[in-house]
Amino acid sequence: MGDEGKGRIVDLLAEAADCVVRFNGGHNAGHTLVVGGKTWKLALLPCGLLRGKLGVIGNGVVVDPQALLAEIDRIAAEGLAITPDTLAIADNATLLLPSHIALDAAQEAARAQAIGTTGRGIGPAFEDRAGRRAIRLADLADPAVLRERLAEALRYHNAVLAALGRPACELEPMLAALLEQARRILPYLRPAWKLLSEADQAGRRILFEGAQAMLLDVEHGTYPSSPRPAPGRRRRLPAPAWAAPRAATRWRVQGLRHAGGRRAVPDRAGRRRRRALAREGRRVRHQHRPPRRCGCWTRPCCARACAWAG
């Protein structure tokens, strides 16, 4: 359901790994870690970077370049330098655009009952990937190709925004910002599938880090109150499926959700009980400001998540 302490578990397992791979989601994740008595908050960057491991952002992640660079700069200011030697980003990962953020807000406002998205454009970016409109990070290397693909994406985005009564997004300012960000992002790009295949063949230990909880899956989770990324590792691995033979799952006794309707949390508790669950759980707010919806632990949900996670 979320807030199980996935970041802590990844941090513990990362000590025995050679590289840690973030394989899904976007900067809607929030992992709070305490390493050496110091608190770190990560959204896109793999947790293993804090342990001196090679971090990989895989092809299943949608990358907001502005958010990524801001996180790299923030972590560097806190004492940990992130360089192309310590972080590799899949060159075929999807680029998240400002127009995706505009679409996210417009679509959420148009719903009869809000889902409660983070408003960071994650869902629309995955929609573009499925619709073959997505721009990949590798496209940042060629300004002509980037302009062509950005113009194609914006034709669709602006048509949807106009239908929802929202202003259009302009091409030139967006293109200029992307080209500026490309100078810093391009050195990190690698063919992640090749990097991880070679690491696996060399006997190196690879840890795959998920962004969201299993029951947030858009197909197997609490639909429609679920984010777009698929939490299951088999869906988005930037390596052969046999490269990850074991899975570790952590479960929280409370079911929590960022927002959404009444169906967002199975066995949703009443208002007084929800407040008590939130106090007892002592959840740490990192990414999301709105109050959490709380529910009780359910054995069927746990069994389904464990079976699906493998």
Rounded-to-integer distance, Cα 67 and Cα 25, Å: 13
Q: Annotated catalytic residue: which of 31, 100, 157, 258?
A: 31
Q: Annotated catalytic residue: which of 3, 11, 104, 139?
A: 3
| Structural domains counted in the chain | 2
Find residue 190's DSSP bridge partners. 90
Range of the domain at 119: 96-187
Rounded-to-integer distance, Cα 103 and Cα 166, Å: 9
Residue with tokens 């199980």: 4
pLDDT at 292: 56
- Answer yes or no: do 53 and 66 share one domain: yes
Rounded-to-integer distance, Cα 108 and Cα 117, Å: 7
Q: Which residues are annotated as a binding site for Mg(2+)?
A: 3, 30
Q: Is residue 239 part of a domain?
A: no
Q: Which residues are annotated as a binding site for GTP?
A: 2-8, 30-32, 292
Q: Is residue 216 part of a domain?
A: yes
Q: Is residue 296 part of a domain?
A: no
- Answer yes or no: do 194 and 81 share one domain: yes
Rounded-to-integer distance, Cα 56 and Cα 88, Å: 5
Q: Is residue 77 part of a domain?
A: yes
Surface-to-core class of residue 161, CB atoms within 10 Å of its CB (0-12 exposed, 13-18 middle, 19+ buried): buried
Q: Which residues are annotated as a binding site?
A: 2-8, 28-32, 118, 132, 212, 292
pLDDT at 160: 98
> Does 31 participate in catalysis according to the annotation?
yes
- Answer yes or no: do 207 and 258 share one domain: yes
- Answer yes or no: do 216 and 83 share one domain: yes
- Answer yes or no: do 176 and 106 share one domain: yes
- Answer yes or no: do 103 and 142 share one domain: yes
Q: What is the pTM of this model?
A: 0.76
> Does 139 participate in catalysis according to the annotation?
no
Q: Residue ranges of the chain with pLDDT lower than 50?
A: 1-2, 235, 241-242, 261-263, 284, 290
pLDDT at 269: 55
- Answer yes or no: do 130 and 18 share one domain: no
